[in-house]
Structure 1
Amino acid sequence: MKNDRGLGLAGLILAVAYGWQAQQLQVASAGSGAIGPGAFPTLLAIGLAISSLYFMIRPDADQPWPALKVFVQILSVFVALVVFVITLESVGFIVAAGAVIAFLAWRMGASLKPAALVGGGAAVGMFVLFNYGLELSLPAGALWGMS
């Protein structure tokens, strides 16, 4: 019960700070009626605030904490995502995303070869979709001279 209320309070503080920062975003040259760059972050902040208030008003009964093994698994996923963000521009999207997707598939129980195939295929597919289908440029990799 107190875990949910603590999480709700932390989320509410984050929502207020995030929403306040979203309101600071300025539009360089938009006419009247333009939604502006702060609209989506503001909606996220409102959703987080509502969810946080729900946690504070209607908390669940306290549950036992998971085993240390679960925390280690969560930490490994967090580290993989941080490494992805750090290496994205230097090694490129395909290598970074392929490696993190393969790692996550392996952590979910796939053997290494299928995990690597899924990671590589998904990364190439997303790269093609974003770069050519949606025309949103993803980094190709500075290490390969293709930044």
Structure 2
Amino acid sequence: MSGLNDRILGLGLLVLAVAYGWVAQQWPEPFGGSEGLGPETFPTILSVVLVIGSLYLMVKPDADAQWPWGKTALELLVAVIVLVIYALLLEPLGFVISTTLVVGTLSWRMGASPGKAFLTGLISAVVVFGLFNYGLSLSLPAGLLEIN
């Protein structure tokens, strides 16, 4: 029965990946016709990567995987809570501010000094915002930084 947990997790992630990819394909075509890149491109890529990862978990599970306990389990719980808060704050605060906060917090929890952690968060947020908004023409929420 070794690897059963990984196989169950892989199956759950496979279902999630297929559902996520299917929903991404349901988005309406952008105004002006079909383009090479549209709003479904990035979610589709993510769903393909998740399908590959979930299939790997199902085919080649870790035989001696142990559930984390103690401090590691607490850190994982903190990470999940931070990511849930991130999802809730993304629209009102905007991508740059909320991403700076979440990447900074998670980097700090992984051992970086607070200054370096939040500088990494800010640089990451600005680079990704620029890539999506200007490189891929996929707008991310500006939130508090929106210029009216």
Counterparts in 2 of 1:19 and 1:67: CA distance versus 1, 3 Å: same
Which of the numbers 4, 8, 11 marks the counterpart of 2:10? 8
Q: CA RMSD in A?
A: 3.7
Count the aligned residue pairs.
144
Percent identity reads 44
Partner in structure 1 of residue 125 of structure 2:
123
Deviation at 1:103, TM superposition (A): 0.9
The alignment status of 1:94 with 2:96, answered yes or no, reads yes
CA contact (8 A) 1:2 1:62 kept: no
Q: Which amino acid aligns with 1:77?
A: A
Summarize deviations over 1:80-99 as a string: whole Å, max 9, x none.
22222222232233322221
Partner in structure 2 of residue 63 of structure 1:
65
The alignment status of 1:104 with 2:106, answered yes or no, reads yes
Which of the numbers 68, 73, 89 marks the counterpart of 2:75? 73
Deviation at 1:114, TM superposition (A): 2.5
Which of the numbers 115, 140, 143 marks the counterpart of 1:141? 143
Summarize deviations over 1:57-108 as a string: whole Å, max 9, x none.
4333132222232122122122222222222232233322221222122112
Deviation at 1:43, TM superposition (A): 6.1
Deviation at 1:44, TM superposition (A): 5.2
Distance in structure 2 (CA, Å) of the matches to 1:18 and 1:132: 22
Higher mean displacement: 46-55 or 109-118: 46-55
Distance in structure 2 (CA, Å) of the matches to 1:101 and 1:2: 32
Counterparts in 2 of 1:54 and 1:67: CA distance versus 1, 3 Å: same
- TM-score normalised to structure 2 length: 0.65
Query: What stretches of structure 2 of length at least 5 have no aligned partner?
Result: none
